[in-house]
Amino acid sequence: MSNRILSGLYAITDSQMGAEQDLPQLVEQALKGGAKIVQYRDKSTDHDRRQADASRLLDLCQRHSAYFIINDDVELAAAVAADGVHLGRDDSDIESARRQLGEQAIIGVSCYNRLDLATAAQDAGVDYVAFGRFFPSSTKPQAVEAEIELLIQAKQTLHIPIVAIGGITPENGASLIDAGADMLAVINGLFRQSDVRAAAEQFNQQFAQKD
């Protein structure tokens, strides 16, 4: 298990971003606004482009002292020496990901609206768990809905960081932090805004107010 401190704004890229806009430029704006973690999420099968994107984003994250996580692809995370990987329900198992990436890798797991999955993941040695969606999401409109009460229960039960995801904006994020979220994972509420850096700064203000 990694001993790195995980908290703050968790920026997640979307597969369409690279096609529509300059992906590294958008990510750099999020980092300048204070994003602490960037997750590269691209479900396409273009291996070469995905590896090139991941390498560029890793370099950006290192320059801004942020962590870089790969979504769902342990092999890509190992190939570019990313800081870690985020696993979903149908992805690689935690044990094999840890074996391949090493003890210092950050491994996170989606737990949707289930505290029992989070407890099992914690026992398996993950570094954080993610719950959600908490609000309507255009990225995953059919995703299972989680209640804010779940964050309160999780904070009382778990001893690893908690990520909240799903339809989060600067306007509704504070309620999730107050309930126990250590990180807010954001896609559209960050990268679909006209000023990505300003949006990131707004999220960071919420964490600062909590401190």
Q: In whole angstroms, give the CA distance from residue 157 to residue 142.
A: 27
- Closest to 84 (Cα-Cα) out of 38, 44, 53: 38
| Phi, psi angle pair for 51, to nearest 5° | -70, -40
Active site residue 175: no
2, 7, 92, 110: the catalytic one is: 110
Cα–Cα distance list, 125 to 15, 20, 58, 98, 107 (Å) = 29, 37, 24, 9, 8
For this structure, is 41 an active site residue? yes
DSSP label at residue 144: P
Whether residue 44 lies in the annotated active site? no
Q: Which of 3, 127, 4, 126 is nearest to 65 (CA)?
A: 4
Which residue among 2, 7, 36, 41 is the active-site one?
A: 41
Length of the chain measured in residues: 211
Instruction: Catalytic residue, from 32, 140, 155, 175: name it.
Output: 140
Question: Helix, strand, or coil here: 76?
Answer: helix
Intra-chain end-to-end CA distance of the chain, in Å: 26
How far apart CA 15 and CA 13 sit, in angstroms, is 7
User: Catalytic residue numbers?
Assistant: 41, 110, 140
